[in-house]
Structure 1
Amino acid sequence: MSTLENTPAPADAAGIALGYAPDVAAQLDADIAEIMSRYPAGHERSAIIPMLHLIQSVDGYVSPAGIALVAQKLELTRSEVSAVATFYSQFRRHPAGEYHVGVCTNALCAVMGGDEVWRAVSEHTGLGSDETSADGRISLERVECNAACDYAPVVMVNWEFFDNQTPASAVDLIGRLERGEDVTPTRGPETVPTFRENERLLAGFEDGRADEGIGAGESSLRGLRLAREHDWKAPTQEEDK
């Protein structure tokens, strides 16, 4: 590991010095200050994850300049910031597409046809996992789990759910994105935001769309409804004794 990687970024390093345009640097400074203000004094390094999402909302990935800026603001080394950015799969290390498509091929999704969905979208786009189209429109990721097993097989676009997919429906979805058409997720906002728009949301800046569309779907709520119909309740601590 290089000496540069283990050296804290200079305290006076600013967004402009790192190559950001003055207006972008000013907005980043303001947004980073707001993110850091959410944490108690002395615990500002806890802001690293939302700050990395903020960087992705500007650069489309966790860029070297973004890593340096986060390191400077949190008084960390670039290595410490890079360690977080490489640990979590939502952080991209090269530019993601405007629409980042994740196809789950783990366990239940695979049993229900996730591998066939993956092959279809990969053949349609000519992309492999963690690759981005030449026009920057689409990127693909083979995902280990989309945390939506009750709707397998599942595809996500910029972290929004498209449930119960088939190879044909997934290819149609990507074709619509490639043509610039709005698409509506199974659950979530009325139309899919761009990658950068959703990254800003993940950084903690509301987009005003929280009440749009469907929240939890019928399959997710079925157990709760059955419990209410039969008056089933979780055992209390006293009952466990």
Structure 2
Amino acid sequence: MSALPGSPEAAATTGLDDSPVEPAPLDLPPLTEQTALEAREIIARYPVARSALLPMLHLVQSVQGYVSPEGVAFCAAQLGLTKAEVGAVATFYTMYKRRPTGRHLVSVCTNTLCSVLGGQRIMDALSSDLGVHHDETTADGSITLEHAECLAACDYAPVVTVDYEFYDQQDVDSARELVAALRRGEKPAPTRGAPLTDFKGVSRQLAGFSQYPDAAAAAAAIDAPGALGPTLVGLRLADERGESAPPMPRSGQSEPADAGEARETVRPSGETGETPGKEAADARVAAADNPAEKAGAAQAHPDKGAEYGRGRPPGGLDQSGTDTPAAGEPAGGYQGPGAGRTVEGRTPPKRKG
């Protein structure tokens, strides 16, 4: 059975893509003993060997630029799996490429918000300029273009990524300039995140290894400046106003329900004749300093009385906390939309029973 798409058996196994597998390029880098050593290092991270398959597929891509048939056989041999099992995983996740990938992978979000704001126009323009469609690579091997269903950055739409690094709030012109620079061999700085490398480099990072030559280069990538942008507006405003989230409880301890409240709103005085719970609920309503807080406190009040914006049920609450009917009101549950009404002066017929 084929390990990758390209045969009816593989299509039946994966249920996904049965497009033919392209022959391996003549200049495909081999998977060496060094690759095998790094694969075993990955396997050692997991209590069950097959759990290492995902990063191992990234490792293969970091060497060969895609998950080749040789890469599938390599992973299967290292993990004691069948090639069909490895192929089923490699064809399921879109980050594993099934054809040779260009030096850079350019992904254009065409999901709803990005598309409405111009993502599809960007995709169409780049496709026209490069002469390729989705999941195709330019003749010079510089760019593989793909549309992405979602890049999880709606507040920066439209979004383009290069080797999974973000270029935010793009338009047709800026995206064209970005791709032209990539084809010239330049590496424009991403809007945020680490400096751009290439597809093989980021694949190595995803396999759990540093893609940088030394610790200094890795530290520089981590500390690279980037635009904070819309996502961190709330954090910046909180810092300016001196606001912070309430402290988290320590491990193994639970916070009381009234943690963080002023003591005068939760400590019963014993002078009102009410239960401690009702007295605290009254205090919370009184202490609310805006309509939303007052409404929330009122909804949590055990009485939910008229003074809290919600009328008492007829007859009030009995000792068990359930509604009791007022005098003259029929007891029992729901009796249908016509219950208690007359039609043309007649009372509803009684059920036989």
TM over 0.5: yes
In 2 relative to 1, CA 87–235 (structure 1 residues): closer, same or farther, beyond 3 Å?
Answer: farther
Cα deviation, 1:60-108, whole Å, max 9, x if unaligned, reads 0000000011011111111111111111111100011101100001011
For residues 155 and 193 of structure 1, what CA distance do their matches in structure 2 show? 16
Give the aligned partner of residue 163 of structure 1.
168
Counterpart secondary structure, 1:87: coil
Pairwise CA RMSD = 2.6
In 2 relative to 1, CA 181–215 (structure 1 residues): closer, same or farther, beyond 3 Å?
Answer: closer
Map 1:6-17 to 2 at 5 A: none
In 2 relative to 1, CA 174–82 (structure 1 residues): closer, same or farther, beyond 3 Å?
Answer: same
Give the aligned partner of residue 34 of structure 1.
41
For residues 112 and 168 of structure 2, what CA distance do their matches in structure 1 show? 16
Question: What's the offset of the Cα at 1:182?
Answer: 2.4
Question: What's the offset of the Cα at 1:147?
Answer: 1.1
Which residue, 102, 106, 119 being the options, matches 1:97? Answer: 102
Kindly name which structure, 1 or 2, has the bigger radius of gyration based on alpha carbons.
2
For residues 107 and 227 of structure 1, what CA distance do their matches in structure 2 show? 30
Counterpart secondary structure, 2:81: coil
Percent identity between the two aligned chains: 48
Aligned residues: 224
Give the aligned partner of residue 228 of structure 2.
217
Bigger relative contact order, structure 1 or 2, given CA contacts below 8 A and separation 6+?
Answer: 1
What letter corresponds to residue 34 of structure 1 in structure 2? E
Alpha carbons 1:227, 1:233 under 8 Å: kept: no
For residues 172 and 51 of structure 1, what CA distance do their matches in structure 2 show? 34
Give the aligned partner of residue 179 of structure 2.
174
TM-score with structure 2 length normalisation? 0.58
More helix by share: 1
Alpha carbons 2:61, 2:203 under 8 Å: kept: yes
Counterpart secondary structure, 2:222: coil
Unaligned runs of 5+ in 2: 4-8, 14-27, 213-217, 249-254, 259-299, 301-353
Give the aligned partner of residue 208 of structure 2.
204
Alpha carbons 1:57, 1:196 under 8 Å: kept: yes
For residues 234 and 61 of structure 1, what CA distance do their matches in structure 2 show? 47
1:45 maps onto 2:46 in alignment: no
TM-score with structure 1 length normalisation? 0.84
Counterpart secondary structure, 2:121: helix
Unaligned runs of 5+ in 1: 7-18
Question: What's the offset of the Cα at 1:225?
Answer: 3.5
What letter corresponds to residue 32 of structure 1 in structure 2? A
For residues 132 and 212 of structure 1, what CA distance do their matches in structure 2 show? 32
What letter corresponds to residue 72 of structure 2 in structure 1? I
Question: What's the offset of the Cα at 1:214?
Answer: 3.4
For residues 211 and 200 of structure 1, what CA distance do their matches in structure 2 show? 16
